[in-house]
Each structure stands twice: as structure tokens, then as C-alpha cells.
Amino acid sequence: MTDNIQDKVVVITGASSGLGAETARHLVKAGARVALGARRLDRLQALAKELGEANATAFQVDVTDRQQVQAFVDHAAKTFGRLDVMINNAGLMPLAPLEMLRFDEWNQCIDVNIKGVLWGIAAALPHFKAQKSGHFINVSSVAGHTISAGGAIYSATKYSVRVISEALRKEVKPYGIRTTVLSPGAVDTELPASVGAPGVNQAIADYYQHNAIPADSFARCVLFAMSQPDNVDINEILFRPTVQEL
Ligand SMILES: NC(=O)c1ccc[n+]([C@@H]2O[C@H](COP(=O)([O-])OP(=O)(O)OC[C@H]3O[C@@H](n4cnc5c(N)ncnc54)[C@H](OP(=O)(O)O)[C@@H]3O)[C@@H](O)[C@H]2O)c1
């Protein structure tokens, strides 16, 4: 599980909590070095301290801003001397029926979940092309495979992650770059807090409380995809809590 991870440099967006933070812990334990990005710098700095300054660097970034994402990725490459994996993980899940017309949430969800991934790809791709190696891990969701009432915008963004990743996979063949889409079901993180719609938020919080599995489930999938030999490209991982029907 930890082959091919030692000394790799991994950039993680959305590393201030949940799946990103837990993955950083697993990666450092396996010998990787991590660049941690998100808006809450205090959280990132505390995590970097926990992981050790030789292994982790914290960088404040809003993934909706292309220049900030470029600065983050360039900072990682400069700090650690190379770039091996870009995990486009930052995201939010503002579930709500369309008729609630929560326009600000629609905008933010599209900007973070789709454009944030695009900016991450744009920032890391030149580094990967120059090295003729690299690995994109883009985070979709079960909602990128199934559509529920109340999930129009979120599912649209997570289907988009899969669409973008599949085109990317085909385009980067000449450069030896790998592409993985990782689609979790309900995992215990702060994600339910991004549901703002009255009524929906309580239902989602209750569902997560009773069904969500720990974040190390996701981290293990990242390490599985990364640890394959360079000529093995794990393109899709979809996993759920065993009890999850949706
Ligand atoms: N947990 C699940 O059940 C589940 C299921 C399927 C898919 N996912 C996906 O997994 C990914 C990680 O979510 P999570 O479950 O770990 O939730 P989380 O604990 O809420 O983490 C979300 C992360 O995204 C960051 N983020 C949000 N907006 C950002 C922005 N504008 N710029 C930079 N960072 C931003 C947050 O950091 P700041 O607030 O500090 O910026 C935080 O670190 C998301 O893409 C989510 O859609 C999660």
C-alpha cells in the first residue's frame, strides 16, 4: 500500500479539514511530503506543525481564484523541488431543491467544485509536462454517478469533474501522467455544514450522523492509486459506506 509514495510531493486543496487533512496525515506517514492549501490558514498551519515542517507546508488559497491556485502549486514545487501528485479535493455540497433559488450557493458550488478543479489542473500540468510524470487525483462523489432531487447543482459539478478528468486522461498520454477520479459516498467530515438550505441541512446532518464512515476510508484509496507502479493508472474509484443505498 505504501510503495511508490516515499518522497513524493503531493499538493492537496481543501486540506484544512475532512478528507484532505486525513489524507495528508496518511501520506506523510507513508513518507510523502505535502503542500496543504485552503482558506483557513490557522487550520493548515496547525496541521503542518503536527506533520513536521520538513514534511508539510501550509499555503492560504481560495481555489476559485486561478492566480492563487497557480501561486500555491508553484510554492509547493519550489519548496520541495518537484511535484508528483495534484489532489483537487476542495469542495462544498449545498444541496437544495432548485425552486429554492439559492443563487449564491449555485455560483459558489460551480466556482469551487468545477473551476477550482480546472485551476488545479492548469497550475500543475506545466510542471507534470516538464517532468514527463505526474498524477492528478480529482475528487468527484457518488453524486457524480447518481442524481437525486435536491442535488442538481452538486451533481452537475461532480459529473463535470468526471467529464473533465476523462478528457484530461486522454490528453496527457504523451507525458506519462496518471489521472484518478475518486468518488466517495458519505464520509464523516465537515461537508454537511456546507448545506445551508433550511430543512435539508438537518436531514443531511442526521443522515451523516447515522451512516458516514471515517475519513481514513478515502485516504486509503488515495494511497492505493498512488502506490501502483508507474505503468498502472487507476482511473476511477467509487466507494460507499456498506449501509449506503443511494
Ligand atoms: N465527505 C463526504 O461525504 C463526501 C462525499 C463525496 C464527495 N466529497 C468531496 O470531498 C471533497 C472534500 O470534502 P470533505 O468531505 O473533506 O469536506 P470538508 O471537511 O468540508 O472539507 C472541504 C474542504 O474544502 C475547502 N474549501 C472549500 N471552499 C474552498 C475554497 N473556495 N478555496 C479553497 N478551499 C476551499 C475547505 O477549506 P476552507 O474552508 O478552509 O477553505 C475544506 O478544507 C469535496 O470535494 C466533497 O465534495 C465528500
Identify the CATH number of the domain in which residue 108 sits: 3.40.50.720
Burial class (CB in 10 A: 0-12, 13-18, 19+), 103: exposed
Q: Is there an atom of ligand 1 within 6 Å of 64 CB?
A: yes
User: Is the backbone of residue 188 left (phi > 0), alpha (psi -120 to 50) or beta?
Assistant: beta
pLDDT of res. 221: 98
pLDDT of res. 220: 98
Task: State which ligand 1 atom lies nearest to the alpha carbon of 108.
Answer: 31
Shortest CA distance to 134 belongs to which of 161, 182, 168, 184? 168
- CA atoms of 61 and 39, how far apart (whole Å): 5
Answer for the pair 44, 37: CB distance below 8 angstroms, yes or no.
yes
pLDDT tens string 174-223 = 999 999 999 999 999 999 999 999 999 999 999 999 999 999 999 999 99
Answer for the pair 128, 82: CB distance below 8 angstroms, yes or no.
no
Tell me the CA–centroid distance for residue 174 and ligand 1, in Å.
31
* Structural domain contains residue 2: no
* Structural domain contains residue 128: yes
Indicate the number of domains in the chain: 1
Map grid coordinates 469551487 to a residue.
Answer: 112
* Structural domain contains residue 76: yes
Shortest CA distance to 237 belongs to which of 228, 21, 224, 167? 224
Q: Is 154 part of the annotated catalytic residue set?
A: yes
- CA atoms of 98 and 94, how far apart (whole Å): 11
pLDDT tens string 51-79 = 999 999 999 999 999 999 999 999 999 99
* Structural domain contains residue 3: no
* Structural domain contains residue 1: no
pLDDT tens string 143-171 = 999 999 999 999 999 999 999 999 999 99
Helices (H) and strands (E) in the chain, counts: 8, 7
- CA atoms of 161 and 155, how far apart (whole Å): 10
Tell me the CA–centroid distance for residue 77 and ligand 1, in Å.
23
* Structural domain contains residue 193: yes
Angle between helices 103-110 and 152-171 in degrees, nearest 10: 20
Say if pTM beats, i.e. exceeds, 0.85: yes
* Structural domain contains residue 201: yes
- CA atoms of 136 and 175, how far apart (whole Å): 13
- Long-range contacts formed by 101-110: CB under 8 A, 24+ apart: 102/196, 102/197, 105/153, 105/196, 105/197, 106/153, 108/64, 109/153, 109/154, 109/157, 110/153, 110/156, 110/157
Closest residue CA from atom 34 of ligand 1 = 38
Tell me the CA–centroid distance for residue 16 and ligand 1, in Å.
9
pLDDT of res. 238: 98
* Structural domain contains residue 244: no
Instruction: Name the residue range of residue 191's domain.
Output: 9-239
φ/ψ of residue 90, rounded to 5: -55, 135
pLDDT of res. 164: 98
